[in-house]
Structure 1
Amino acid sequence: MKKIGFSGTLDPITNGHMWVIGEARSIADEVVVFLSENSTKQPKFSAEERRAIVLESCRERGWDDVQVQIVKSDYTARVARKHGAEYLIRGIRTTADFDYENLIQQTNVEVIGGAKTIFVMPPRDLGSVSSSFVKALEGPVGWNWTMKKFVPGPAYRAWILSWLRKEWDGLWQRCAADAARQAHIDQWFELLTGVAAYGGANRHYHNLDHLVHGLAEIRAWNANVQPARADADAVRAAFWFHDAVYEHEAGSTVSNEEASAQLWLGSGLAGDAAMADTVALLIRATDHFQGASISHPLKDTMLSADLAILGQDDEVYRSYARGIRAEYAHVEEDHYRSQRGQVLAYLRGKAETGSLFGDAYFAEQYSEQAIANMNGELAWLQG
């Protein structure tokens, strides 16, 4: 077969869609993805953004030959036929899918003279994956790790950046937003999510995933504890900046946390001096060397949100542990096991005495699982 088309809104493209595109490549010389721009839908991403995500997702798998064509105000099957694709390929997961797709195929061929349809059935692990399913995952604590299982990397990154953007803009919506101020806010978002900070290639744990998780934890804490708006905003701002600087410089006299606090103070983002000082204090509270001497009503909340990763389910915790090891790849294995073991033993001791999570909201949810997780990693480190 010379050319075959695959159509959809693809908001976002999923691993199920990618599987269908892979099947198309195996039976045709050319594959064109026909991306629908439907005015009746309100997708998260524009058609051009979705096109870029699809192309990047294909390139990531070495599929440089896949083309993407945006369809505007026309039937996809008719556009496919115009572009020389006599067949569209569609994935069907259930008998209900077949009944629906078969009706669409009959309309495409008999009514509008469009391309015919070839049906393929995805493997069982992709059978329930749809864009609607993936969209529904967003929100609760840990949603990002769940979503990551079902979409290609470029789609995942675009989705969490969109979520982070909403969180970021919501933090500053109380501020007077003239054009210059908004541009300043935009610049700091790009900096914090870019390669110089959480988006950096060497950020294997203290990265965008960590940022999403912590902010989701703070969002849940805010919904359940209902603190004052200023308090919640201070914790959010501190979490955005607390790992903004994360380097391993031998002989450095300034800790990463202090450098991050200074970065915050120099950002000019705070609405007033009180917020600037509070956020800097909360960032410094995460510093092993100066945290113990810091006293603030929000300190326990900040530290608990940062340590909440210790109480996640086993799969997420193991991914976290691998990420930490990768960030310390410069440390020799035996030395790493020794140092990491000491840190975990200390944290486990605090968990066993009920003092790991100083905020009661986090302690109730995560203490027991944190102990089990750390016991498991300690056993591996000592094995």
Structure 2
Amino acid sequence: MAGTTRVTPGESSPCGRLHRVGELIERWRAAVRGAGATDPAGVDRAGERLLAGWREPHRHYHTADHLTAVLDVVDGHAALTGRPDLVRLAAWCHDAVYDPRAGGDANERASAALAGELLAEAGLPADAVAEVRRLVLLTAGHAVAADDPDGALLCDADLAVLASPPPVYDRYAAAVRREYAHVPDPDFRAGRTRVLEALLALPALYRLPALHARWEPPARANLTRELKTLR
């Protein structure tokens, strides 16, 4: 779960969509090259494979808009991390595999595995590949150690949507429900309740001080409000 849904000017037109795809691919190339990739053809293949996943038709929230929103947060706070390009790559990979029918952390584990495969083929150093995989796996529970600024930024960016104004948050929640349209209402309410309760049980939703100060109160208010409607 993460980032705000953005409406890109011209998004409804083919030209607008192509412009957005081209911009995302350039952001991918810059990040993966900055992280040390050595195979240009592998870089492009990996970017195309990842973007195709983000654009799958069954996605309603976990889309290229969410990816863009997460990347924007990472870019805006890159100075707070040790290796911002690796955080950007983890953002690209963290929901690369998204099957609403999968249970537990299956999507995060599959996304981490795909990240390892694609980044290795792009010529990224082995230690960088391992770090991206580690960061992706953090998004399963969003539990981050106090001495992990890279993990903190990725998870904070992933959860940024929770601090949105209530109308935006409600659109996010509705989009998630559409992704789980196959689940009957009673089962969805029970599962969603568990997710929200787990988030509220975290010591902090946001770890970076600047983001925590701004986002923690509205995020907890939104989660509590949705929880009441589910009950």
TM-score (norm 2): 0.85
The structure, 1 or 2, with the larger RCO (C-alpha pairs under 8 Å, 6+ apart) is 2
Q: CA deviation at 1:279?
A: 0.8
Q: Indicate yes or no: 2:23 matched with 1:171.
A: no
Higher helix share: 2
Please list the CA deviations of residues 78-110 of structure 1 after superposition, one character each: whole Å capped at 9, or x if unmatched: xxxxxxxxxxxxxxxxxxxxxxxxxxxxxxxxx
- Structure 1 stretches of at least 4 aligned residues deviating more than 6 Å after TM superposition: 293-296
Q: Which residue of 2 aligns with 1:275?
A: 128
Q: Which residue of 1 aligns with 2:224?
A: 375
Match of 1:260 among 111, 115, 118: 111
Q: Matches of residues 141-290 of structure 1 in structure 2 within 5 Å?
A: 145-147=6-8, 151-174=11-34, 175=36, 181-194=39-52, 197-222=53-78, 225-228=79-82, 231-249=83-101, 255-267=106-118, 268=120, 269=122, 271-288=124-141
Report the AA paired with residue 301 of structure 1: L
* Aligned equivalents of 1:153, 1:379: Cα separation in 2: 39
Higher strand share: 1
Q: CA deviation at 1:237?
A: 0.7
* Aligned equivalents of 2:70, 2:176: Cα separation in 1: 16
Q: CA deviation at 1:155?
A: 4.4
Note the aligned Cα RMSD (angstroms). 2.7
Distance change >3 Å, CA 249–CA 324, structure 1 → 2:
closer
Distance change >3 Å, CA 275–CA 359, structure 1 → 2:
same
Report the AA paired with residue 161 of structure 1: V
* Aligned equivalents of 2:15, 2:167: Cα separation in 1: 22
* Aligned equivalents of 2:96, 2:65: Cα separation in 1: 13
Report the AA paired with residue 213 of structure 1: A
Please list the CA deviations of residues 123-167 of structure 1 after superposition, one character each: whole Å capped at 9, or x if unmatched: xxxxxxxxxxxxxxxxxx96x72435x652534422321221221
Instruction: Work out the percentage of aligned pairs sharing the same amino acid.
Output: 29
Q: Matches of residues 1-383 of structure 1 in structure 2 within 5 Å?
A: 145-147=6-8, 151-174=11-34, 175=36, 181-194=39-52, 197-222=53-78, 225-228=79-82, 231-249=83-101, 255-267=106-118, 268=120, 269=122, 271-288=124-141, 297=148, 298-350=150-202, 355-382=204-231
* Aligned equivalents of 1:324, 1:184: Cα separation in 2: 32
Aligned length in residues: 225
* Aligned equivalents of 2:13, 2:178: Cα separation in 1: 19
SS of residue matched to 1:192: helix
- Preserved contact between residue 37 and residue 123 of structure 2 (Cα < 8 Å): no
Question: Which structure would you say has the larger Rg?
Answer: 1
- Preserved contact between residue 163 and residue 169 of structure 2 (Cα < 8 Å): yes
- Give structure 1 stretches of 5+ with no counterpart: 1-140
Q: CA deviation at 1:381?
A: 2.0
SS of residue matched to 1:173: helix
* Aligned equivalents of 1:248, 1:374: Cα separation in 2: 21
* Aligned equivalents of 2:192, 2:133: Cα separation in 1: 27
